[in-house]
């Protein structure tokens, strides 16, 4: 296990937007990490991560979609908010896009105190 001395990425965003070069560096690392996790899903390899809430690959329906809504509402894809079945990899890409926006803008794109999973 590795100690993450720098703290949460969220704390950097709360301080305000990041320079484009810094945001690009963080985003590239994020995409590489998410891709790594998705490529390992079918191999039975243990992964330890903190994505707030996560769905397990084993919970996929026969059509390959995930049935349970989970995640931090400001970051999750619209289909997850609507409690529809969703493709986990595509929903993760949406969330990565929200993180990229937050890195560059200093706030999440959808700020509503009433956002909840319905």
pLDDT in tens, 60-80: 777 777 777 777 788 888 888
Domains recognised in the chain with CATH numbers? 10-41+63-118 (1.10.510.10)
Residue 56's pLDDT band, with cuts at 50, 70 and 90, is low
Q: Report pTM.
A: 0.65
Q: Which of 92, 76, 78, 86 is nearest to 39 (CA)?
A: 92
Residue tagged 């999440």 (tokens) = 108
pLDDT score recorded for residue 72:
77
């Amino acid at each position: 296990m590795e100690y993450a001395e720098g703290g949460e990425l969220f704390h950097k965003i709360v301080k305000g937007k990041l320079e484009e070069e810094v945001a690009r560096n963080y985003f590239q690392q994020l995409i590489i990490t998410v891709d790594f996790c998705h490529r390992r899903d079918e191999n039975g390899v243990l992964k330890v991560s903190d994505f707030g809430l996560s769905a397990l690959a084993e919970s996929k329906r026969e059509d390959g979609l995930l049935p349970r809504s989970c995640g931090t509402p400001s970051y999750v894809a619209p289909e997850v908010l609507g409690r529809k079945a969703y493709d986990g990899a595509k929903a993760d890409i949406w969330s990565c896009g929200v993180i990229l926006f937050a890195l560059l803008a200093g706030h999440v794109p959808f700020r509503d105190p009433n956002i909840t999973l319905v």
